A and B are shown apart, each in its own frame.
Chain A
Amino acid sequence: MVKPMVTVENLRVAFGAAEVVRGISFEIARGECLALVGESGSGKSVTARTLVGLTGGGARIAAGELAFDGQDLTALRERGWRKVRGGRIGFVLQDALVSLDPLRPVGKEIAEVLATHTGLTGAARRARVAELLASVGVPEPELRAGQLPHELSGGLRQRALIAAAIAADPELVIADEPTTALDVTVQAQVLDLLAELKSRDRSLLVISHDLAVVARLADRVAVMKDGVIVEQGPTGRVLGAPEHDYTKQLLRAIPAEHTKGTRLSATAPAPPRRPPGEVVVRAQGIGKSFGGRIAVQDVSFTLRAAETVGIVGESGSGKTTTARIALGLSAPDTGSVEVHGQSWAGLDRAARRRLRRDIQTVYQDTLAAFDPRYTVAKVLAEALSVAGVPRRSRRERSVELLELVGLSPEHLSRRPLQLSGGQRQRVAIARALAPEPAVIVCDEPVSALDVSVQAQVLDLLEDVQRETGVAYLFISHDLGVVHHACDRVLVMKDGRVVEEGPVEEVFRTPAHPYTRELVAAIPRLTAV
């Protein structure tokens, strides 16, 4: 029998008193891709780091067996690890922006691997760096090699990181969330790149919270929860016929085409839908440029009460600029935005402030959205005071708002850091609801959340809409989320709306080539 590339048996990792990996076992065969799937805090990243001996300070590691190509990793000293790291195991960390040295050209980071693990000299290394960058699909590799990470787009950075990981042609590549924070078409390209590695008989360990990403790439899937692998097996079997409840729950929570109109989380069904009401926001031919670069051009849309309009597009397509103009935070160069028939342009300061109560926001970064020293009670009281609610009824109203978003009065005394990401987003929604607005602009509201929390928040947004009749302008790069949550959608590219219409129509029979490209790039579970 051929020895497996990686053997992990009863691995336990603890930091202090907290055991984050609690006895997991798996194997990776040569030329095989194993996906470790789980939500934040499940211990999947710690497991990956342990395989390259970089678990972190203060970690206690115990294992029945921890072997790479028959070599016992637990017996390795620092010098031995250095040969393995980069040379035989390539490691791609998540978020290339912070995983590349911001002060060094990306080419140097790749050359470093070559200098450490190969006998190549200066000129040969430079040539190899360019070859590697070209092989991962970076255009103009010689030029790019000399650039700093921040001068590259997210996709190019991620590729440079992959190029560094595979520079010394390692037998195993570990990729920790390799496609998080990437636009859907770029994500598809990176996944193809990793799939190609596998075809060259290299082994792959992919860490991800995204089951759809995993479905495209992995031969086998291991689902992790609270430091334990609850289920593992061939990808088709685990995703097609899951046995464990947690796997089923994860699968059900993924918003996509087929989940439209259904509940993502295991909560009570929503109250009945209201029909769309009168027009609350009307944008006509808005355009804006920054220093000669066109950010938004000729964008028009209407948003009715109790309706959700989605704006999709990749980074830099003008989604956020459109939202800022709709909010009256940024004045358009051309065109106008009316809220309740009043144009932002025609109002004085006091009138703008009054109108702003009618249009609220919920952002992606739940931690940055609050003053870290404010309690939930203070956050809500502030929003209510702006809304003109008298002091004596603020507490009562705060409790009502919390109950509306599925929290309870006990959360009033908490500060942002004492809440989970999902709870913080619920508070953000409660705060947005405080002045009883007609519209909430949701800018990537669930992008930073785990899939099961995302499911709860998406369900909550729907419940709130049915309860209050609020309209949503819903900005997202995740087409699955948009498909699930929106009634109508605008597809933006390079500042223009290339296609718009009812979400079903746009996604099922896309008319514009760019929309077709986007829809084709969505990782799908149904492909399994």
Chain B
Amino acid sequence: MIRFIAWRLLAGAGVLWGAATLTFLVLHFTPGDPAEAVVGGEGAAPTPEVLAQITAEYGLDRPWYEQYAGHLWRIVRGDFGTSYRLHTPVTQAIGEQAWATMELALAAAVTGLVLAVAVALATAGRRRWIRGLAAGAELLVASTPAFWLGIVLLTVFSFGLRLLPATGSHGLASLVLPALALALPIAGVLGHVLREALEEVLDEPFIVSARSRGLADTTVRVRHALRHALLPLVTMSGYWVGALLGGAVITETLFTRQGIGRLLVAAVNAKDLPVVLGVVLLSALVYVLVNLVVDLLYRVVDPRLKEAA
């Protein structure tokens, strides 16, 4: 078990190294003076003194391998440079926004999963029209663009019914609509996959065996079938982590919430390269950590894997 985790951590470090190398290549091969890119591209019009200072600071006058080593070393120390736009260290700029995004992503992940599981458990293997209805609804929310879904939610619940605030990132009430907008498409896809998996499991002989013991239908579904059907969802972790991170950008902008997503949009617009690269590295880190958790979850869901490793 410890060997397994150590191995996964090593692989994770490899992924982060790859991401760090990619950010270096972007910096290095962006057309024009890298010093200019660091301070914000051509439009920034920095003074020659500033450029000289940056060239010295980043060692842009040294050979590429020394620059590469320096780049990696700065990342290892947690130094992602300074945001030209905010004039604060990138780590600080991201740190200030991270909690708001995490809140949103967690709320959306939990909502999406609960919705998907509830709908799939209730509809799997039922009459044709029930399944058709559920599948239709899932297809609709999964294929609706996230911003449009957000606008619909805003129009109905905020501007129409005046139940929930439209913007801001303070308090639970302001979290409801953005979390729903982010969760619904994910719930649509996961629900669909889960129902298919459940229907396959419900045909297995051990389900008949469980029913022959006098268990209620709900018990059979929750206690026996669900665990088997969860495996494909765990496998799809890459999809839903990506959907959460990518969706956060749109959702935060639409609902004018604080968060990494909006930070990223602002940074891209202003060509604030250090912040963009910092967010890229952070995303890679989140992927690595989520994958580690997922691999451990696999073993909880399917105990047969424990001895295989």
Considering the chains assembled together, what is the distance between the CA atoms of A54 and B208 in angstroms? 7
User: Which residues of B have CB within 8 Å of A168?
Assistant: 214
Considering the chains assembled together, what is the distance between the CA atoms of A231 and B206 in angstroms? 32
Q: B109-159: which residues lie under 8 A (CB-CB) from chain A? A: 125
Which one of B215, B224, B301, B304 contacts A116 once the chains associate, using CB atoms below 8 Å? B215
B93 interface residue per 8 A CB criterion: no
B213 interface residue per 8 A CB criterion: yes
B228 interface residue per 8 A CB criterion: yes
Considering the chains assembled together, what is the distance between the CA atoms of A84 and B213 in angstroms? 9
B112 nearest CB across to chain A (Å): 24
In the complex, residue of chain A having the shortest beta-carbon distance to the beta carbon of B217: A78
B210 interface residue per 8 A CB criterion: yes
A85 touches B211 (CB 8 A): yes
- Known contacts A78-B217, A117-B214, A103 near B209 by CB under 8 Å: no
- Known contacts A103-B227, A103-B228, A103-B303, A93 near B209 by CB under 8 Å: yes
User: Which residues of B have CB within 8 Å of A84?
Assistant: 214
B127 nearest CB across to chain A (Å): 10
Considering the chains assembled together, what is the distance between the CA atoms of A165 and B213 in angstroms? 7
B269 interface residue per 8 A CB criterion: no
Considering the chains assembled together, what is the distance between the CA atoms of A87 and B212 in angstroms? 9
A400 interface residue per 8 A CB criterion: no
B214 touches A164 (CB 8 A): no
In the complex, residue of chain B having the shortest beta-carbon distance to the beta carbon of A89: B212
Contact with B along A104-138 (1 / 0, CB 8 A): 10000100110011000000000000000000000
A291 nearest CB across to chain B (Å): 14
Q: B197-239: which residues lie under 8 A (CB-CB) from chain A? A: 204-206, 208-217, 223-224, 227-228
B303 touches A112 (CB 8 A): no
* Other contacts beyond A87-B214, A91-B212, A103-B228: 17, CB < 8 A: A49-B208, A54-B208, A57-B125, A82-B216, A84-B214, A85-B211, A85-B214, A86-B212, A90-B212, A91-B209, A93-B209, A95-B205, A100-B209, A103-B301, A112-B213, A113-B213, A165-B212
B206 touches A98 (CB 8 A): yes
User: Which residues of B have CB within 8 Å of A93?
Assistant: 205, 208-209, 212
A52 interface residue per 8 A CB criterion: yes
B263 nearest CB across to chain A (Å): 42
B209 touches A99 (CB 8 A): yes
B213 touches A103 (CB 8 A): no
Considering the chains assembled together, what is the distance between the CA atoms of A98 and B224 in angstroms? 13
B304 touches A148 (CB 8 A): yes
A211 interface residue per 8 A CB criterion: no
Task: List the 10 shortest-distance A-B pairs measured between CB atoms, nearest first.
Answer: A86-B214, A91-B212, A86-B213, A85-B214, A99-B209, A82-B214, A98-B205, A113-B213, A101-B206, A99-B205
Considering the chains assembled together, what is the distance between the CA atoms of A83 and B213 in angstroms? 9
Interface size class for chain A? 20 to 34
A116 touches B210 (CB 8 A): no
B302 interface residue per 8 A CB criterion: yes
A397 interface residue per 8 A CB criterion: no
A342 nearest CB across to chain B (Å): 39
Considering the chains assembled together, what is the distance between the CA atoms of A49 and B125 in angstroms? 19
User: Which residues of B have CB within 8 Å of A87?
Assistant: 214
B161 nearest CB across to chain A (Å): 40
In the complex, residue of chain A having the shortest beta-carbon distance to the beta carbon of B206: A101
User: Which residues of B have CB within 8 Å of A78?
Assistant: 217
A112 touches B228 (CB 8 A): no
A464 interface residue per 8 A CB criterion: no
Considering the chains assembled together, what is the distance between the CA atoms of A87 and B213 in angstroms? 7
User: Which residues of B have CB within 8 Å of A161?
Assistant: 209
User: Which residues of A have CB within 8 Å of B224?
Assistant: 101, 104
A70 interface residue per 8 A CB criterion: no
User: Which residues of B have CB within 8 Å of A49?
Assistant: 208
Can you sample 29 A-B contacts with CB below 8 Å? A49-B208, A54-B211, A81-B214, A82-B214, A83-B214, A85-B211, A85-B214, A86-B213, A87-B214, A91-B212, A93-B208, A95-B205, A98-B206, A99-B208, A103-B228, A103-B302, A103-B303, A103-B304, A109-B209, A109-B210, A109-B213, A112-B213, A112-B215, A112-B223, A116-B214, A116-B215, A150-B304, A164-B213, A165-B212
User: Which residues of B have CB within 8 Å of A99?
Assistant: 205-206, 208-209
B309 nearest CB across to chain A (Å): 15
Considering the chains assembled together, what is the distance between the CA atoms of A95 and B216 in angstroms? 23
Specify which of A81, A99, A109, A165 lies most central, judged by the most chain B CB atoms within 10 Å of its CB.
Answer: A99
User: Which residues of A have CB within 8 Å of B228?
Assistant: 103
Considering the chains assembled together, what is the distance between the CA atoms of A90 and B213 in angstroms? 7
Considering the chains assembled together, what is the distance between the CA atoms of A148 and B228 in angstroms? 14
User: Which residues of B have CB within 8 Å of A117?
Assistant: 214
A207 nearest CB across to chain B (Å): 14
B302 touches A112 (CB 8 A): no
Which one of B205, B212, B227, B303 contacts A85 once the chains associate, using CB atoms below 8 Å? B212
User: Which residues of B have CB within 8 Å of A83?
Assistant: 214
Q: A45-61: which residues lie under 8 A (CB-CB) from chain B? A: 49, 52, 54, 57
Q: B253-309: which residues lie under 8 A (CB-CB) from chain A? A: 301-304
Considering the chains assembled together, what is the distance between the CA atoms of A148 and B209 in angstroms? 16
